[in-house]
Amino acid sequence: MDGSLLTLIDLPDEVLLLILKNLDNIEVLYLIIDLNKRFNKLVHDSIFTNHLTMIRCSSNGSFDRLDEQIHDRFCSQILPSIHHNIKWLDVECSSMEDVLLCTSYPNLSGLGLHNIEKNIALCLFTDETPLTHIFQDKISSLVIDVVECESS
């Protein structure tokens, strides 16, 4: 060995894709999108953008929203740049409106709503809300994880 250092940038695209496919899509997009033209092209591939889980599962099994900095960057930059590729989104109740209203999702057909209270879920499908058009026109598969309200 000549002592040279092989960096991530030196790897062929096929090897990079094998590595990146084993990582969380949200982390891959957050860390690599807009890094350079080559990496940007790789992470715009449908394997990273078709199904996005915009939540974290905690050790006790509950769903939490993404870190604020990650969430904000996704809503302001990343989602608008990949919106046409997204077919399924998993979102947590407290970030649902931010994520769903930050851009249009012309190919969105599946949605997972997590940590949502029953009364909020009912309003989404019975009242006129900014999200109503998404549910009426696009979604063919819907998963709702309803949480019970804690009584005081």
CA–CA dist 73, 77 (Å, integer): 6
Over residues 33-61, the mean pLDDT reads 90
Residue ranges covered by each domain of the chain:
38-146
Q: Which pLDDT value is given to residue 152?
A: 46
- What per-residue confidence (pLDDT) applies to 121? 83
pLDDT digits (tens, 9 = 90+) for 76-115: 999 999 999 999 999 999 999 999 999 999 999 999 999 8
Check residue 105 and give its pLDDT. 93
User: Distance between CA 11 and CA 137 in Å, rounded?
Assistant: 43
Residue 49 tokens read as 């953008």
Say what the pLDDT of residue 81 is. 95
Over 70: is that where the pLDDT of 2 sits? no
pTM of the predicted model, to two decimals? 0.85
State the average pLDDT for the chain. Answer: 87
Where does the chain have alpha helices with state H? Answer: 13-20, 25-32, 37-43, 46-49, 68-73, 79-82, 96-101, 118-126, 132-137
Q: Given the structure tokens 């969380």, which residue do they identify?
A: 24
- Structural tokens at position 89: 């989104």
- Cα 143 to chain centroid, rounded: 15
Q: For the CA atoms of the chain, what is the radius of gyration?
A: 18
Residue 127 identity: D
Cβ atoms of 73 and 54 closer than 8 Å = no
pLDDT tens digits, one per residue of 106-148: 999 999 999 898 888 888 877 777 777 777 777 889 898 888 7
Q: Write phi, then psi, for 55 (nearest 5 degrees).
A: -145, 165
Q: Report whether pLDDT(4) > 70.
A: no
Higher pLDDT, 4 or 40: 40
Cβ distance 52 to 73 under 8 Å? no
Amino acid 13 reads D
Burial class (CB in 10 A: 0-12, 13-18, 19+), 138: middle
